[in-house]
Amino acid sequence: MLLIGPDDSFNRMLSEKIGAGLVLMERRVFPDGEVCPRVMNEVRGSDIVLSLRMKAGKCKPNEYLLEMLFTIRNLKEHMNAGDITLIIPYFPYARQDAIFRLGEPLSSKYVAELLEASGISRVISVTVHLHRIDSFSNLFNKAYVINLSGFKSLADRLRLLDLKDPFILGPDTESINWARELAESYEVEEYDAFTKERDVQTGEIKTTVKKIDLSGRDVVVVDDMVSTGGTMANAVKAAKKMGARFVVSTFVHPVLAPGSIDKIIGAGADAIIASDTIEWVGSKASVVPTIAEALR
């Protein structure tokens, strides 16, 4: 088995933990935006683990998807690779897991079908954002699929902060599941969530705050991802107003559109913890051990 991916700390650590040689991949982008990913060594006959992550900030999910599709097709059709397991820590277009308005696409399903058609045998992802589909595997027809939890890595990092009387708080209704999952991993009993409404036309967010006694407590505001930072910032600000002593903003996927971190810090966050499912310099919680265990 060979691990193929960019030469970064994520893939070097993964290679070591699963005992597979690392074959480097060049991520070339032409001036007009076309991508030309290149596998740097021969892989004929070998089973492959392909590990690619998207970059935080000015995310380019379309470029990311084409890199994957081109590389998988190349490996299967021109480089004579064996079975291919795709490590896609952040699954793009997962939020479009239903048709919300007439004429919109069911994007998450289409992405899964494109990946299957390219030739993958297995897909491993982390905390896939699906709320209207029972299981990540329901997006696929043939591939063996694993949806790992990214919250264990967050909990491990939180333990280094030595929080006092911690309370886990989700910033919106859907995040109650994430709050519960982190509370279980972090081994605390108390958790709750606010509610949120988003205008499907404008994207404007309105957070409804329920009264929770947070006086003098350390609060962990948790979500699966942060994109613009608006939802997270609203929850951090509300926690501070309710008397929280120390507030940690924590999330699995650091999508982080420009200005999002400033919003969260400006709202009063005392610390930010994110995993490394997406390439971001501020990621301190690694999901590599979780992925390596699944691969083994």
User: In sequence order, what are the beta bridge partners of 231?
Assistant: none
Q: Which residues, in sequence order, are CB contacts of 136 under 8 Å at separation 6+?
A: 91, 125, 128, 130, 145, 147
58 included as an active-site residue: no
Two tokens at 60? 């380019």
Buried b (16+ CB within 10 A) or exposed e, 51-75: bbbbebbebbeeebbbbbbebbebb
Catalytic position from the list 152, 196, 237, 263: 196
- Residue that has been written with the tokens 């001036």 in this structure: 31
Residues assigned a catalytic role: 196
